[in-house]
A and B are shown apart, each in its own frame.
Chain A
Amino acid sequence: MKTLRNLQGPALTLALLCGLWLIVILGLLALKPSVFNLGTVTTILQFSTILALVGLGQGLVILAGGTGIDLSVGGAVSLSAIIAMLCLKLGLPPVLLPVICILAGALLGAMNGWLVNGLALLPFIATLGTFFVYSGVALAVTGGAAQAGVPAWLLLWGRGVFLGIPVPFLTLAIPCFALAGLVLMATAWGRWIYAMGFNERSAKLVGIPVERVRFILYVLSGALAGAAGLVSIAWLGSGRPNIGQNLELESLTAAMLGGIVITGGRGGVGGVFAAVLLLVTLKTGLLQLNINTVWQVGIVGALLVFVLLADRLSQRWRS
């Protein structure tokens, strides 16, 4: 159990993230104190919900190793939202909208899983291909137009706020993370994921169904992307074909910042959760300071590069 907690990592990562977060908050406080109110917190958590769900799937896929990565998450978010809205237009009962959205995401994830497992393609090239297919189809089918017609009860859920915390964050993001953390810490499945991420060959030799676990993780990543699509529909009131833009970069950055090692087998979901909050706080802060949104992608990208380099340097330093 001790080693497992060590793999989960690192109190150090969490402490560092909290430190960074404080720096961001203090910097923002110094530059624009008027930002701080309950409304901003709600906004940050609202934005966090989508990234948290996607980042969780991304983190789990990377954790399982085998050069696992899911670059298609952004496309899957957009496409599942669009599929759900189009199904609604075709006369599907609105009650089924959440189910369709998550199911569509899971199917898109299953496609990735099949390419990676069944055809044994390299994960990064397979999901790069599906990324362009998913996001391209979402844009092309709609011609880039947002799909309106979200039922009122869904908006009630998506825009609801309870004690300053958005309801989707409370009912979807937190349970998902709690469940993932529990599975990783306390079940055989969690150990399997760490074991195959750490050393796939020995994991296979001791009889872990590596391929089945990997397939399920890709499906899960897709389903979480579908859930993120659902949140976007319920919050924004329309299915937007470009809602998943840059999510592949942001979710990767969140996973890496959160202490998941790119080669797999080390890290935990708690760090990812903290990293998501940090990233979204940073983005919201930049937005509040009237800095062009184009800077966001550059800063997130620079953070990703920085984290990866820092990780390598600290490894060399330790050894």
Chain B
Amino acid sequence: MNTVRRSGNGIFSMNGREWSLLVACLLAITIFSVASPHYATSGNAVTVLRNSVELLLIGLGMTLLLAMGGIDVSIGIVMGLAAIAIGRILGADGSPFLAIVAGPMAGAVLGCVTAAVVVLGRVPAIVGTLGLLGVYRTAVFVLLGGQWLSGLPSSLTDLLSTTVLGIPVAAFAIAVAYLAVWLALRRTPYGLHLLAIGNSEEKARLSGIPVVKIRFATFVISGVLTGIAATFYVATYRNVEMTIGSTLALDAIAAVILGGTSILGGRCSLIGTVLGVLLLRILQNGLLLIGIPSLWQPVVTGVLILGVLGFEAVSNRLPLARFQRARA
């Protein structure tokens, strides 16, 4: 059991990695505040937080997937498809309640499709989801018929911004999603099994863990979270554009890796993902405000992924890390 590390066992307990992420966030904020007069405004803070919502929800699902040794590069377009489903229902009906159910439902169905290919078909997750990414992209285009879905009624927006006890419903929804994922990961057998599969699928199977079921469920959970993200997307922008979600998968992978979840599986941190999402969005927003064109964003994200993984690889080889491992 030594190798299945449950770092950050409490809801908000943080380890060194997570503290340093928090420091990195603060450092980035300080630097950007000095560099740009438009940065340190309350309006910009709201923008950054607002832009983090979808990524956070998708990042939670991606944390589970990566911890299990899986990945899903089609997840951004899955959000696009779910957003189209929500938009169509909202446009036809106007009732926000049906629309709220539609997102997670669409996400769950698409999660089942992905799981059927990757888990039941026993196809490597990266290749399977890359193929599905192509299919989904065509589906988005065909469903939208070459034009934006726009001018959707504001009923969903109104519902999510209703305040209860002074806090918007949206914030409650995000908190509940986080709590649910945390509980599943840290307080149920599912979480232990997931990490064990991430560590070694073969060993997990031999010790009687229902590997196929757990892996299937994780893809569906990730789909449902993506569907919730789509609900927030439609509520905020009230339109669905052709290029929706095209960089979300990369951003989510970057945020999760930044957060300290091991791509080799078996180790993950939800609070790390939250901080990773914030750091990524702070960086993207700040770089834009100090005048770096948005075309550079995928470069920055890619370099972050490679930098963090490279740093981990090198620091794992340092004598101190070896010594600590030997002692453990």
Contacts and interface: CB of A to CB of B under 8 A. Distances in A.
A150 interface: no
A133 B296 contact: no
B186 to A, nearest CB: 25
A135 B123 CA distance: 26
Contact of B263 (A125, A297, A298): A125
A193 interface: no
Nearest to A298: B138
Contacts of B189: none
B293 interface: yes
B107 to A, nearest CB: 19
Contacts of A262: 123-124, 127
B141 interface: yes
A309 B298 contact: no
A27 B128 CA distance: 28
Given A69-B127, A129-B305, A297-B138, A115 B310 contact: yes
A95 interface: no
Contact of B130 (A126, A295, A301): A301
B299 interface: yes
Given A132-B250, A298-B137, A298-B138, A305 B302 contact: no
Contact of A294 (B73, B122, B123, B137): B137
A67 B128 CA distance: 14
Interface residues of B, number: 42
B131 A302 contact: yes
Interface string A280-319: 0000000000001011011111111100110010000000
Given A130-B306, A133-B306, A305-B117, A297 B132 contact: no
B128 A305 contact: yes
B291 interface: no
A140 interface: yes
Contacts of B134: 246, 249, 297-302, 304
Chain B's interface: helix, strand, loop or mixed, by majority? helix
A181 interface: no
A40 to B, nearest CB: 24
Given A136-B296, A301-B132, A305-B132, A294 B127 contact: no
Contact of A135 (B253, B296, B298): B298
A136 B302 contact: yes
Contacts, number: 138
A260 B303 CA distance: 31
Chain A's interface: helix, strand, loop or mixed, by majority? helix
Contacts of B25: none
Contact of B310 (A69, A119, A128, A300): A119
Given A129-B305, A249-B130, A136 B298 contact: yes
A69 B125 CA distance: 12
B91 to A, nearest CB: 22
B226 interface: no
B70 to A, nearest CB: 11
A122 B130 contact: no
Contact of B122 (A115, A302, A312): A312
Interface residues of A, number: 46
Contacts of B73: 128
Given A298-B134, A301-B134, A125 B305 contact: yes
B44 to A, nearest CB: 23
Interface in A126-166: 126, 128-133, 135-137, 139-140, 143-144
Interface in B124-181: 124, 126-128, 130-139, 141-142
A119 B128 contact: no
Nearest to A308: B123
Contacts of B328: none
Given A125-B305, A129-B302, A133-B302, A253 B131 contact: yes
Contacts of B305: 125, 128-129, 132
A194 B298 CA distance: 35
A132 B299 contact: yes
Nearest to A115: B306
Nearest to A309: B121
A122 B263 contact: yes
A244 B117 CA distance: 27
B301 interface: yes
Interface in B287-316: 293, 295-299, 301-303, 305-306, 309-310, 313-314
B124 A67 contact: yes
A177 interface: no
B139 A128 contact: no
A92 interface: no
Contacts of B131: 249, 252-253, 301-305, 308
Nearest to B297: A136
Nearest to A255: B127
A132 B135 contact: no
14 contacts: A69-B127, A115-B306, A119-B309, A126-B309, A129-B305, A130-B302, A131-B302, A133-B302, A246-B134, A294-B137, A299-B134, A304-B127, A305-B123, A305-B128
Q: Which 10 A-B pairs have the closest CB atoms?
A: A301-B134, A298-B138, A132-B302, A304-B131, A136-B299, A136-B298, A133-B302, A305-B131, A140-B295, A129-B306
Given A125-B71, A132-B302, A301-B138, 4 more contacts: A129-B309, A133-B306, A140-B295, A308-B128
Interface of A: 67, 69, 71, 115, 119-122, 124-126, 128-133, 135-137, 139-140, 143-144, 246, 248-249, 252-253, 256, 262, 292, 294-295, 297-305, 308-309, 312
